[in-house]
């Protein structure tokens, strides 16, 4: 009887943990979708690749200097930007950027 109760409690704990994780992930995705509504897509050229730095969570992530053509055909440089990709100098990528604030995070367009 004791082991059956322990099993039920364990299963309930696992289900609650999975439910919390799922809803947290879903709300983060919804937040990102909302944030990206005002963003525009454009092409960027990688001008310089910096050595990976260790992030707060221990992963190594390189940073990039990018030449970006904005929607009004003006070109700007974005320095030391993080992107979730391994890119080389001279490569071209499609990114999403915030035209109201070029300092905001940028995202790769997949």
**Is pLDDT of 2 > 70?**
yes
| 29 and 57 co-located in one domain | no
Q: What is the pLDDT of residue 99?
A: 86
In terms of domains, do 71 and 94 share one? yes
Q: Are residues 7 and 44 in the same domain?
A: no
The 10s digit of each residue's pLDDT in 30-61 is: 566 767 788 888 889 999 999 887 777 777 78
C-alpha span between 65 and 24 (Å, rounded): 33
Distance CA 37, CA 66 (A): 22
Answer yes or no: do 51 and 101 share one domain.
yes
pTM of the model as a whole: 0.61
Q: Is the pLDDT of residue 20 over 80?
A: no
Question: In 1-110, at which residue ranges do the beta strands (DSSP E only) sit?
Answer: 40-54, 60-69, 75-82, 92-97, 107-108
The whole-number pLDDT of residue 29 equals 55
Are 60 and 88 members of one domain? Answer: yes
Question: Do both 47 and 78 map to the same domain?
Answer: yes
In which domain, by residue range, is 98 found?
Answer: 39-108
- Residues 65-106 have pLDDT tens digits of 999 988 777 888 989 888 888 888 999 999 988 888 888 888
How high is the pLDDT of residue 32?
Answer: 64
Q: Which residues on neighbouring strands pair with residue 95, listed in sequence order?
A: 42, 108
DSSP per residue over 6-34, as a string? HHHHHHHHHHHHHHHHHHHHHHHHHHHHH
Residue 35: CA count within 13 A, CB half-sphere:
13
Specify the pLDDT at position 66: 92
Please tell me the total count of domains within the chain: 2
Whether residue 74 sits in one domain with residue 32: no
Q: Are residues 52 and 88 in the same domain?
A: yes
Do 7 and 47 lie in a common domain? no
User: CA separation (Å) from 26 to 15, 21, 22?
Assistant: 16, 9, 6
Contact yes or no for 45/64 (Cβ under 8 A): no
50 plus 10 within the same structural domain: no
pLDDT at site 22: 67
């Amino acid at each position: 009887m004791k082991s059956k109760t322990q099993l039920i409690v364990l299963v309930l704990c696992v289900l609650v943990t999975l439910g919390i994780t799922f809803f947290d992930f879903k709300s983060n995705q919804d937040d990102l979708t909302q944030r990206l509504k005002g963003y525009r897509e454009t092409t960027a050229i990688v001008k310089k690749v910096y050595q990976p730095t260790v992030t707060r969570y221990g992963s190594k992530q390189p940073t990039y200097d990018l030449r970006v053509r904005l929607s009004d055909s003006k070109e700007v440089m974005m320095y030391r930007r993080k992107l979730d990709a391994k890119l080389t100098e001279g490569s071209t990528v499609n990114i999403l950027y915030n035209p109201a604030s070029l300092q905001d995070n940028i995202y790769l367009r997949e």
